[in-house]
Amino acid sequence: MPDFFDISRHLTDEEKTIQKTVRSFVDARVLPTIGEHFEKGTFPTEIIPEIAKLGLLGCNLHGYGCAGVSEVAYGIAMQELERGDTGIRSFASVQGSLVMYPIWAFGSEAQKERYLPKMAKGEIIGCFGLTEPDWGSNPQGMITNAKDDGSHYVINGTKRWITNGNMAHVALVWAKLDGKVHGFLVPTDTNGFEARTIHRKMSLRASVTSELILEDVRVPKDAILPGVAGMKGPLSCLTSARFGIAWGVIGAAAACFDCAVDYAKHRVQFGGKPIASHQLVQAKFAEMLTQISSSQLMALEVARLKEEKKLRPQHVSMIKRHNVRMALETARVCRDILGGNGITLEYPIMRHLCNLETVSTYEGTHDVHTLILGQDVTGISAFE
């Protein structure tokens, strides 16, 4: 993991310990098998209890069995998990930021007590149902709706591209009730609820991606998140998750960079010299190191803003946009350095490259975050 500016000197002892611990876990339990899982299109469910035992599920939340670590520590954990694979980080991100966080922030005390301790232990897995087949970048257009039926709410609709969907015990489904968006905690064994695995993916293959079908799903009145109404609910969840993504992709970029540096030092061409000795290759490394370092500094600064309660969603839009683009470009250049070998699963680069194509799209595309920043600069919305 490159650390050109010795950023680790800013970390607390606890943050350094978390980095070392998660890095060792990824080296021992993720990297040896993740290529095979990617090739087969399977998620390594056997490591879920281990991830939970490390305290990584909802680790930046306080109370209810959660670790309550700093925002920097959370970011570092996501970075190390994604150094292994985006699918592993996505599992933890969805569980912690998209399901546990809204329960913690907007749920009733009974909901918090019921779900959070078991979710922190990995005994209950959650998924986040916002995106629909026809409504992605514009979630306000959602069709999924809930109707008050006396003692219950009745939910109908379809959600798509849902991470953890077929593993989940509970789905946080966002639906319109009387024209306003609300979150509903729906046990996945409820009648009328169906999760269908999305197959034939070329990206995020070591991750469970699903479509959720809800047909007259009846949930009791206490299933609704009482603390929020409107788009503030799902958008605040996305801000939390995007923060973790912006850290996570640094890990993917670092994995590609370290692999390419090692390869270039040993790959001999043109007169018996390693390709690392050539000017064009060194120029690529210099540029990638600069961009990775820039992303590390931005992520650290935004984490500190979050800890100081000074964070704005636009801060997260900037680092999600910048860092994902950086990671994707880094993976592409590293693949080029490895030549034909770069496309094989013997090396991690093509796997990360394919995954990052999805990360560039989900939780706000590059263009959407561009327009969010443009609106922040000008005060004019370009969305409508």
Give 334's contacts (C-beta < 8 A, 6+ positions apart).
256, 257, 259, 260, 288, 342, 349
What DSSP string describes 6-17? -GGGGS-HHHHH
In the three-class reduction of DSSP (H, G, I as helix; E, B as strand; rest coil), residue 3 is classed as: coil
Helix (H), strand (E) at residue 199 = none
Tell me, what DSSP letter sits at residue 217? E
CB-CB contact of 52 with 365 (8 Å): no
Asked whether 87 and 207 are in contact (CB, 8 A), the reply is: yes
Residue pair 7/64 in contact by the 8 Å Cβ criterion: no
Q: Reduce the secondary structure of 329-361 to three states and give it as a string.
A: HHHHHHHHHHHHHHHCCCCCHHHHHHHHHHHCC
How far apart are alpha carbons 72 and 301 in whole angstroms? 9
Longest dimension (CA), the chain: 81
Query: Residue 163 in 3-state DSSP?
Result: strand
Q: How many CB atoms lie within 10 A of CB 82?
A: 32
Q: Which of 71, 80, 211, 363 is catalytic?
A: 363
CA distance linking residue 30 with residue 25, whole number of Å? 7
> Does 363 participate in catalysis according to the annotation?
yes
Query: In sequence order, what DSSP letters do the residues of 279-338 get, joined into one string?
Result: HHHHHHHHHHHHHHHHHHHHHHHHHHHHHTT---HHHHHHHHHHHHHHHHHHHHHHHHHH
- Cite the active site residues: 363
